């Protein structure tokens, strides 16, 4: 029987150099899309998929990420005193069960695989989700919930994938596809950031994974891959054959918020979904284009 999925890991130790100077003294995952920081979207998505335990893999200067999910006593007391119900309501998504969130440090930036390995004590022997907050998914049904549904059926490992232009395969982990029913794809192989002419397909991994703990011993080998980093993709590839491994073409739109243009596009797309903002945004967009 497949163990229930209750744990999620959030690798958030990156320096955010692509967003300097904004990220000089602030974590890039604290940058808001409309009015909510990227990390909160990720935590809310995890919670919607039944996750109860959260592990942030952080680094120096990233304490705001953990603070964000703590009680802000003075702020909350002041809001209560002034009877600011609406403002209090806005904080609801930042409240997590006492003791349900932990942070571990990734002291050196050796890659995504190394970041996940840093969470090994938290993961233990349980299946776990990974959410990369840079990848923001706009979907009617949250992306991780879609993966969790597949995972409950298939067990093993499930990753979210989307088609990219062949010219862009070198930015992503790419799937070597087996049986494909148009929605779910059997994963025969995985390659991290292949050159377009070497990519086995144009199906790219986005930052949503459900994996078994068996990936940990492969990460522990600390083998360097693309970019001389310890790659999660390489460790996952070693599970293929011994465990079920599926990719899901999720329903929704993904925005790469690690990229300036992607981040700006996310602002517009998410604002257009908000009844309080959409009319004004539609109106000013018309004036610009
Ligand atoms: C990471 C993964 C890559 C994946 C991507 C999704 O790359 O290594 O396989 O496709 O996230 O955003 P990074 O963006 O950290 O270079």
Q: pLDDT value at position 92?
A: 87
For ligand 1, say whether the CB of 37 is within 6 Å of any of its atoms.
Answer: no
Q: Which ligand 1 atom is the nearest neighbour of the CA of 258? A: 14
For ligand 1, say whether the CB of 229 is within 6 Å of any of its atoms.
Answer: no
pLDDT tier at 52, thresholds 50, 70, 90: very high
Map residue 270 onto helix, strand or coil.
Answer: helix
For ligand 1, say whether the CB of 233 is within 6 Å of any of its atoms.
Answer: yes
Residue 274, CB-side half-sphere exposure with 13 Å CA sphere: 14
Tens digit of each residue's pLDDT (9 = 90 or more) over 74-128: 999 999 999 999 999 999 889 999 999 999 999 999 999 999 999 999 999 999 9
Q: Kind and range of the H or E element at 157?
A: strand 157-163
Range of lowest pLDDT (31-40, 61-70, 211-220): 61-70
pLDDT tier at 1, thresholds 50, 70, 90: low
CATH class of 7-157+207-285: alpha beta
Choose the residue to mutate in 160, 207, 227 for probing ligand 1, maximizing ligand atoms within 8 Å of C-beta.
Answer: 207
Task: With a cut of 90, say whether residue 286 has pLDDT above it.
Answer: yes
Distant-in-sequence contacts of 216-223, Cβ < 8 A, 24+ apart = 216/117, 216/120, 216/123, 219/113, 219/114, 219/116, 219/117, 219/120, 220/117, 220/120, 222/110, 222/114, 222/117
Domain boundaries, the chain: 7-157+207-285
């Amino acid at each position: 029987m497949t163990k229930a999925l209750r744990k999620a890991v959030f690798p958030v130790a990156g320096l955010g150099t692509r967003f300097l100077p904004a990220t000089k003294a602030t974590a890039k995952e604290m940058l808001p899309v409309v009015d909510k920081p990227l990390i909160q979207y990720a935590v809310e998505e995890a919670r919607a998929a039944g996750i109860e335990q959260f592990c942030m893999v952080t680094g120096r200067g990233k304490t705001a990420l953990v603070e964000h999910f703590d009680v802000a006593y003075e702020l909350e007391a002041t809001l209560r005193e002034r009877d600011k119900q609406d403002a209090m309501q806005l904080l609801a998504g930042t409240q997590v069960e006492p003791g349900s969130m932990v942070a571990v440090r990734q002291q050196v930036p050796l890659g995504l695989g190394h970041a996940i390995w840093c969470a090994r004590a938290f993961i233990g022997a349980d299946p776990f989700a990974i959410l990369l907050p840079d990848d923001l998914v706009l979907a009617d049904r949250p992306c991780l919930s879609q993966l969790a549904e597949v995972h409950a059926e298939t067990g093993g490992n499930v990753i979210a994938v989307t088609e990219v232009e062949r010219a862009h395969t070198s930015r992503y982990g790419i799937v070597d596809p087996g049986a494909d029913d148009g929605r779910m794809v059997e994963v025969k192989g995985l390659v991290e950031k292949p050159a377009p002419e070497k990519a086995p397909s144009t199906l790219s991994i986005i930052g949503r994974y459900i994996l078994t703990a068996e990936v940990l011993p492969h990460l522990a080998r600390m083998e360097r891959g693309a970019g001389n980093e310890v790659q999660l993709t390489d460790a996952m590839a070693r599970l293929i054959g011994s465990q079920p491994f599926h990719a899901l073409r999720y329903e929704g739109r993904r925005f790469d918020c690690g990229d300036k243009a992607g981040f700006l596009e996310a602002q517009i797309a998410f604002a257009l979904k908000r009844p309080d903002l959409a009319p004004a945004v539609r109106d000013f967009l018309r004036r610009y284009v």
